[in-house]
Amino acid sequence: MPGSLARTTAPVAKMMRLRNYKEGAGLGAHGQGIVVPVKTEKRSSNAGVGHSEKPYDNGLPGAPAPPPAEDRWGEWAAASRALGLERDCYEKILALLRDMKLEGDDSAETADALAAIVKSEEVLQGKRALGAWRTALPPSAVQHIVEQVLAPRMAMKAREWEPVWNPGCDHWLRPWIPLIGHLPESLYSIVESKISGGSHDTISRFNRKDYFDPAHWEIFSRRHVLPRLTRWLQQLRITPPKQIDIKFRTVMEWAPLVRTEDAVSILEQEFFGKWESALRHWLQSAKTSPGEADAWCTGWKNLFTPELLDDERVLARLEVGAAIADRQTEDLNRLVRHS
């Protein structure tokens, strides 16, 4: 217990009692002294008296974001939505084929496709793996449905599509993804022209790689995403000791849209040289406190995506900045020791 006489020697305890000290109270005529001992704070080996461990107000994150916890419920919910989209696709295609029959389409291909879709309901009844429904359909039925039933309707809807109001293509593309897999090549030019002609938010909200096949997505990102990242890095102003410009955060939000190799190339061309130059100029022209430059470099590192931090070239350039900051800290400590 704080203020307990049992924690001291017998002579001291006797003297305190003679002076009417009450255990648990503070010292002084009115017991106003502290009771709880002063807490000690651990400092780094090079830190002097008065050194503060408080984070610097440098406009950068002080610690990396914690890794996402395993989200079993989220995974289950995503799988449930995907399976639900399969059933919706089945029901919409079934309705289209029946309408075609009622409108006089007596072709054998449509009849076979309708029979295949009706039979595929058996797959949807019980537990199934994602994609099992499409696998159960005959290739000839899938080809007829995609080319003769869906393609004409999708082409008409794509021409009417306004990406600003419906970036997810909820009414004309998303419902058919379980069957077609990705955006048909015949519609790529229409979609590209509409997205590229919109605002930057249109492109970011259309980050649906399940809508593109890998080859088309790479073409799209090289034409429309990489130039934006390059322009933002060119416009970025790096202002130590406090970073105000947030364009780099935006670049990191968009980095997952492109290949890591392409993002690293842009960073090497447009960012790291500027970053190192700003760091050197700051350290040469301003008096920084011990640890401030280290915190600045760490804050920048914490902005990078995990994929970029796995790249050896990125780590090497970040370590160059850390080495510059370390030399500055050593110089400051040397001056303190000799003063």
Rounded to an integer, what distance in angstroms lies between the CA atom of residue 80 and that of residue 16?
A: 73
Domain that holds residue 267: 213-339
- In a domain, residue 329? The reply is yes
CB atoms within 10 A of CB 240: 21
Q: Please, what is the Cα angle at 46 between 41 and 48, to 5 degrees?
A: 60
Tens of pLDDT, residue by residue, the chain (339 residues): 566 666 777 777 777 777 777 776 767 666 666 666 666 655 555 555 444 556 788 999 877 666 666 667 888 888 999 999 999 999 999 999 999 999 999 999 999 999 999 999 999 998 899 999 999 999 999 999 999 999 999 999 999 988 878 877 888 999 999 999 999 999 989 988 888 775 555 665 565 667 888 888 888 889 888 999 999 999 999 999 999 999 999 999 989 889 999 999 999 999 999 999 999 999 988 888 778 999 999 999 999 999 999 999 999 999 999 999 888 767 656 655 555
**The predicted structure's pLDDT at residue 86:** 96
- In a domain, residue 239? The reply is yes
Look up residue 331 and give its amino acid.
D
- In a domain, residue 275? The reply is yes
Q: Could you tell me the end-to-end alpha-carbon distance of the chain, in angstroms, rounded to an integer?
A: 44
**The predicted structure's pLDDT at residue 217:** 87
CB atoms within 10 A of CB 285: 7
pTM over 0.75: no
**The predicted structure's pLDDT at residue 278:** 96
- In a domain, residue 151? The reply is no
Give the long-range contacts of residues 104-112, CB within 8 A, separation 24 or more: 109/140, 109/144, 109/148, 110/144, 110/148, 112/138, 112/140, 112/141, 112/144
- In a domain, residue 249? The reply is yes
- In a domain, residue 236? The reply is yes
Q: Would you list the DSSP string of 1-17? A: -TT-GGGS-HHHHHHHH
- In a domain, residue 294? The reply is yes
Give the long-range contacts of residues 201-204, CB within 8 A, separation 24 or more: 202/163, 202/164, 202/167, 203/228, 204/253, 204/254, 204/257
Rounded to an integer, what distance in angstroms lies between the CA atom of residue 56 and that of residue 214?
A: 43
Looking at the 3D structure of the chain, how many domains does it have?
1
- In a domain, residue 94? The reply is no
CB atoms within 10 A of CB 90: 21
